[in-house]
Amino acid sequence: MHEMSLAEGVLQVVEDHVDTADRVTMVRLEIGQLSHVEPEALAFCFEAVVKGSVAEGARLEIDRAPGQAWCHNCGRGVEVSSLIDACPDCGGFQLQVTGGNEMRVKEMEVA
């Protein structure tokens, strides 16, 4: 399960940006639809890795970003839900992913 290592990475980002005396109450992530990250599994792993840290008990909020691609056939930016989707406009398969494959910490609340 690669979500465990991703959760550990999120905790590292959080710890790198807060003082050890602070308490993190919320972490908001943006996860692209094409990133191959399961939000439920990541939330489960996050809860496990934050125990005993500045983020213990923090609420995890996850925003999903749609997949975006550029169609070389019709020259348009399109929304896709999978890496094997055809262009919704022309039906072509010459798509280059331009977004929705990332994961990032967007926001943190600190008390």
**pLDDT at residue 20, as a whole number:** 76
Residues 6+ away with beta carbon under 8 Å from 80: 34, 67, 68, 69, 88, 95, 97, 100
pLDDT in tens, 10-20: 999 999 999 87
* All structural domains of the chain with their residue ranges: 2-66+100-110
* Predicted confidence band of residue 1 (pLDDT cuts 50, 70, 90): low
Q: What percent of the chain has pLDDT over 90?
A: 94
Mean pLDDT of 89-101: 95
pTM for this model (two decimals) = 0.85
Which CATH number does 2-66+100-110 carry? 3.30.2320.50
